[in-house]
Structure 1
Amino acid sequence: MTTSQQTLPDQTTPTLNDSEPTGAGAGRVPGGERADLLEALANQRHFLRFAARGLGDDQARQRTTASELTLGGLIKHVSATERNWAEFIVAGPSALGDFSAMTEEDLAQREDEFRLLPEETLAGVLAEYAEVARRTDELVATLADLDVSHALPAAPWFEEGKRWSARRVLLHIIGETSQHAGHADIIRESLDGARSMA
């Protein structure tokens, strides 16, 4: 087994001090349910970011499986998804856009969300993700009530008339991050044999 194929056991265990803001920021550290939600999200963010460790921009753009997904594109997508859902907690369905009125330009822009574009860098995408994480963690710490809810926007993939609480949105963000961390692990192993979650 080459060095690139070995797992890195001392670096694969996520910690709450793993170079990413976790908790609440601004000195506010929530307890109970909020602490559990933040820790679960921090763990999944860690695995996603760890899959891109040591890579250059070209490697972060490289497809390594039958999927169109790349490591840079996944991180960019998860960051945008977390940002939009956190905004939904605050502002309601308008934060997610009007899916019924999507244009060709909107669809192309959405596809670009999954790509590390030529003018973008992996370092830049990771920095943006860290800032999104900081803002989400601050929101979790300061939100008056996790039961606050909004109606979901009309879309084929949402049940009509359904409302999601802030708690439900946070669980969705954790699930989305976890799913894509698994995708990232496979993409990275296919790239150079390095594994993140083994």
Structure 2
Amino acid sequence: MGETSTLDETGDTAALSGERADLLAELRGARFFLRFTTRDLTDEQAAARPTPSELCLGGLIKHVTGVERGWVDFIVDGTSAMKDFDDLTAADFAERDNEFRLLPGETLAGVLATYAQVAARTDEMVATLPDLNATWPLPKAPWFQETQWSARRALLHIIAETAQHAGHADIIREAIDGAKTMG
């Protein structure tokens, strides 16, 4: 059975099979659990930091949105989509810090809507990317052991990052009101 390379007209991945369908199923599952932790919360609760961590639910959604957007840009545009660590400015670090907070004027509904837009772009890219083996050099950073990643490896990173933060979100949500994602 061959792999279909496009989404159907509704944006559903039912037309996909094989590796691309598997990648999207895992990513969509991790996204669901992350978003589900925010159900029925107010903006104030989404901005709350009820654990010793600096993390809040709205900030986690923003961060995962930024991670997904950045890595998809890398997959599509290559190394030029990301700065080398030594080229990051104080403003870049401040912007990254703000990814982890729900800032004044931001709403949970707004960050969830942005996340949905980024997710739709990613899903379409996974369905239509000509080659999951396409490889780009990574930007220089102390945390990269490798020198290059394939599109597949970057997608796996998005999945891992989303799943990791869904776990963080579950702990934060339980600290807010006792609600759990599962169980």
Q: Provide TM-score, normalisation by structure 1.
A: 0.85
Runs of 4+ in 1 over 6 A off after TM superposition: none
1:133-152 matched pairs, under 5 angstroms: 133-152=119-138
How far 1:25 sits from its partner (Å)?
Answer: 5.6
Change (3 A) 1:115 1:35: same
Q: Which amino acid aligns with 2:161?
A: E
1:24 to 4, 7, 10: 7
Q: For residue 109 of structure 1, what is the amino acid of its counterpart?
A: E
Q: What code does the residue aligned with 2:24 have?
A: L
- Do residues 177 (structure 1) and 181 (structure 2) align? no
Classify the secondary structure of the residue corresponding to 1:158. coil
Matches within 5 A, 1:1-198: 24=7, 26=9, 29-159=15-145, 162-198=147-183
Instruction: Work out the CA distance in 2 between the residues paired with 1:126 and 1:114.
Output: 14
Give how far 1:50 is off.
0.2
Q: Give the whole-Å Cα distance in 1 for the aligned partners of 2:135 and 2:84.
A: 18
Partner of 1:97, secondary structure, is coil
Distance 1:25 1:70, change over 3 A: farther
Q: Relative to structure 1, is the Cα distance of residues 103 and 121 closer, same or farther in structure 2, using a 3 angstrom cutoff?
A: same
Identity, % of aligned positions: 62
Instruction: Determine helix, strand or coil for the equivalent of 1:92.
Output: helix
What is the identity, as a one-letter code, of the residue corresponding to 1:24? L
- AA partner of residue 165 (structure 1): S
CA distance in 2 between counterparts of 1:84 and 1:25 reads: 25
RMSD: 1.4
Query: Whole-Å Cα distance in 2 between the matches of residues 197 and 177 of structure 1?
Result: 17
Do 1:24 and 1:139's aligned partners in 2 also have CA atoms closer than 8 Å?
A: no
1:171 partner amino acid = L
CA-to-aligned-CA distance 1:35-66 (integer Å, 9 cap, x gap): 00000000000000000000111100000111
User: Over residues 77-113 of structure 1, what are the superposed CA-to-partner deviations in whole Å (9 max), with x where a residue is unaligned?
Assistant: 0011001001100111221223212222221111001
Runs of 5+ consecutive residues of structure 2 not aligned to the other structure: 1-5
Post-superposition offset of 1:31: 1.1
Classify the secondary structure of the residue corresponding to 2:51.
coil
- How far does residue 150 in structure 1 lie from its aligned partner after superposition? 0.4
Residues matched between the structures, number: 175
SS at 1:33 equivalent: helix
